[in-house]
Chain A
């Protein structure tokens, strides 16, 4: 029982580690595309945290079964928030990539330090 209680936090630990892996890519890498990849890992980590919160033990996906009375359902609210956030995430990521493409055309490089040197 003790072990299972401990494993109940595993999702949140993975969230913390993924968040920091993404953050590391954003701050330590000079390549702009790598930074954006890091940003999307960061974003996915936040999604994982929200979806971990929606789980109810013994519950199922929040699609009501008519006629079944004592069925537990997981929380639909975090799912709605993340569902829309994923689609918004890809649109904003594309915006970032478009800016990177223009930077490449203007400066001939996508390494941050070389861009700073060129300025």
Chain B
């Protein structure tokens, strides 16, 4: 039964992707990418990747769509027809697709327990997590401890991208007179979204915090929680307008979250070195290595959550503030 469902979902994915590329209205394309992400997330869930499904649902279907929409508001919603080079592109794409499909016959079949990917380090993680970390979610253990270096790198990439967006869009941290006198934006006059959204926002934040602090025992962790909490604040600013959202979480607080989060992660690593261990080897932090690892993981997961939440909010507000400035100049 699951296989029929999986095949249905995968086919829907292909259909949605074709529709996204075919549509010449960019607004339609962006809304379809949201559906695409939701289908993708269901697919991940069918393939046993609960943590990834949670991330894809929060980031792909939520934040990506909002960022795309705010970019559309600043550019254009209609794609101009352009037919040049279409034939040759189709030939290239068709040839490459058939080559890749031909190559897949050499891959191990889906779910094959003897596939090379399952032989190397994965059994070690599965066998030792319970004993070394003392909690059951292997994904969190690998993410924050066994492969902590990778995660530190990823957090700094998010940090760098966030700084890049702020520089390119020239978003200022100060609150000049422009921000005080500006008119209310957002969905103030739409009653139903207003009421429903107001009720939802605190629960989304609560769920985000649950995902953050329950990440060791169930699907979740800093990346998902950061994205979920950021969506709550983005929803708030869509409902109440830029202005009110910036009053709730000012620009400096958003940047502070990103910087503190990334630093917290790095400092735990340095602290481990000072205590005589290796970088990000949490076991030296306390007498009992299992408790020490748990504490280290809780701290770095909190750092990841803060960094991701702050980065997503800064990026969203950088786009939103720019559109507000533009309309001000137009008026």
**Complex interface: chain A residues within 8 A of B56 (CB):** 47, 86
Q: Which residue of chain A has its CB nearest to the CB of B111?
A: A57
Residue pair B80, A30 in contact (C-beta under 8 Å): yes
**Complex interface: chain B residues within 8 A of A62 (CB):** 48, 126, 137-139
Q: Which residue of chain A has its CB nearest to the CB of B120?
A: A77
User: Could you tell me the distance between the alpha carbons of A24 and B179 in the complex, rounded to whole angstroms?
Assistant: 42
Q: Residue B319 contacts which of A34, A79, A97 (CB distance < 8 angstroms)?
A: A97
Residue pair A100, B7 in contact (C-beta under 8 Å): no
Q: Residue B52 contacts which of A38, A86, A99 (CB distance < 8 angstroms)?
A: A86
Given the contacts A16-B97, A76-B138, A21 and B158 also touching, CB distance less than 8 Å? no
Residue pair A8, B109 in contact (C-beta under 8 Å): yes
Residue pair B76, A61 in contact (C-beta under 8 Å): no
Residue pair A38, B21 in contact (C-beta under 8 Å): yes
**Complex interface: chain B residues within 8 A of A85 (CB):** 154
Per-position binary interface string of chain A over residues 5-37, scored 1 when its CB falls under 8 Å from any chain B CB and 0 otherwise: 101111111111111111111011111011001
Residue pair B82, A19 in contact (C-beta under 8 Å): no
Given the contacts A44-B60, A54-B47, A82-B52, A94 and B315 also touching, CB distance less than 8 Å? yes
Residue pair A77, B64 in contact (C-beta under 8 Å): no
Per-position binary interface string of chain A over residues 34-59, scored 1 when its CB falls under 8 Å from any chain B CB and 0 otherwise: 10011011001001100111111111
User: Could you tell me the distance between the alpha carbons of A34 and B157 in the complex, rounded to whole angstroms?
Assistant: 24
User: Could you tell me the distance between the alpha carbons of A110 and B77 in the complex, rounded to whole angstroms?
Assistant: 10
User: Could you tell me the distance between the alpha carbons of A58 and B67 in the complex, rounded to whole angstroms?
Assistant: 39
Given the contacts A57-B113, A101-B319, A94 and B21 also touching, CB distance less than 8 Å? no
User: Could you tell me the distance between the alpha carbons of A15 and B13 in the complex, rounded to whole angstroms?
Assistant: 10
Name the prevailing secondary structure of the B interface residues. Answer: helix
The yes or no answer to B302 lying at the interface (CB within 8 A) is no
The yes or no answer to B26 lying at the interface (CB within 8 A) is yes
The yes or no answer to B288 lying at the interface (CB within 8 A) is no
Residue pair A13, B29 in contact (C-beta under 8 Å): no
Residue pair A65, B136 in contact (C-beta under 8 Å): yes
**Complex interface: chain B residues within 8 A of A104 (CB):** 74-76
Known: A9-B107, A33-B71, A44-B60. 15 other contacts (CB 8 A): A9-B105, A11-B10, A11-B47, A24-B90, A38-B21, A56-B111, A57-B112, A61-B50, A63-B139, A77-B121, A78-B49, A83-B139, A84-B150, A88-B158, A98-B71
A residues with a Cβ closer than 8 A to B are 4-5, 7-25, 27-31, 33-34, 37-38, 40-41, 44, 47-48, 51-66, 72-95, 97-102, 104, 109-111, 113-114
* Chain A to chain B contacts (Cβ below 8 Å), 16 pairs: A7-B3, A7-B110, A8-B109, A25-B21, A27-B92, A33-B72, A37-B30, A37-B68, A55-B47, A57-B111, A63-B217, A83-B51, A91-B162, A100-B75, A101-B71, A104-B74
